[in-house]
């Protein structure tokens, strides 16, 4: 199968590959899964691979480089086409909170109203 590396980390020896069958992404972990462990694939590289499904994860095996930086623009295009991320924080209430002195002043009046 042919694929394009869309993310890569040399230090962690991990990469994510977008495959020609448009199924699940393939995950490359460790140099033992490279046909030539001398160089680590970079984003935009065109690679040939075999894939193996283990659990719910599609693993890349026997990955070999076909062309360096053949699709260097692809990772950026994918990021640009993704919808904007939802913010992690949101406003729950925009009602101003009363000052603590206002709460103390209102307290006895509420108690008096409840007692009647």
Task: Using alpha carbons, list the distances in angstroms from residue 64 to 48, 71, 102.
Answer: 5, 16, 72
pLDDT above 70 (res 96): no
Confidence of residue 10 (pLDDT cuts 50, 70, 90): very high
Burial 73-109 (b: 16+ CB within 10 A, else e): ebbeeeeeeeeeeeeeeeeeeeeeeeeeeeeeeeeee
User: Domain 2-82 adopts which CATH fold?
Assistant: OB fold (Dihydrolipoamide Acetyltransferase, E2P) (2.40.50)
Nearest CA-CA partner of 13 in 35, 40, 53 = 40
25-42 pLDDT tens trace: 999 999 999 998 888 999
**C-beta separation of 31 from 64 below 8 A:** no
The residues spanned by each domain of the chain are: 2-82
51-93 pLDDT tens trace: 999 999 999 999 999 988 766 777 777 667 767 777 777 667 6
Task: Using alpha carbons, list the distances in angstroms from residue 6 to 3, 21, 49, 86, 112.
Answer: 9, 15, 14, 22, 68
| Range 80-107 average pLDDT | 64
**What pTM was computed for the model?**
0.64
């Amino acid at each position: 199968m042919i694929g394009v590396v869309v993310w890569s980390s040399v230090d962690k020896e991990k990469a994510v590959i977008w495959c020609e069958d448009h199924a699940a992404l393939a995950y490359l972990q460790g140099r033992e899964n490279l046909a030539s462990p001398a160089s680590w694939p970079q984003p935009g590289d065109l690679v040939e691979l075999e894939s193996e499904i283990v659990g719910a994860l599609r693993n890349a095996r026997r990955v070999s480089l076909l062309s360096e930086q053949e699709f260097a623009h692809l990772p950026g295009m994918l990021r640009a086409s993704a919808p904007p991320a939802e913010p992690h924080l949101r406003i729950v209430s925009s009602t101003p909170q009363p000052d603590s002195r206002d709460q103390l002043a209102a307290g006895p009046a509420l108690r008096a109203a409840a007692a009647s």
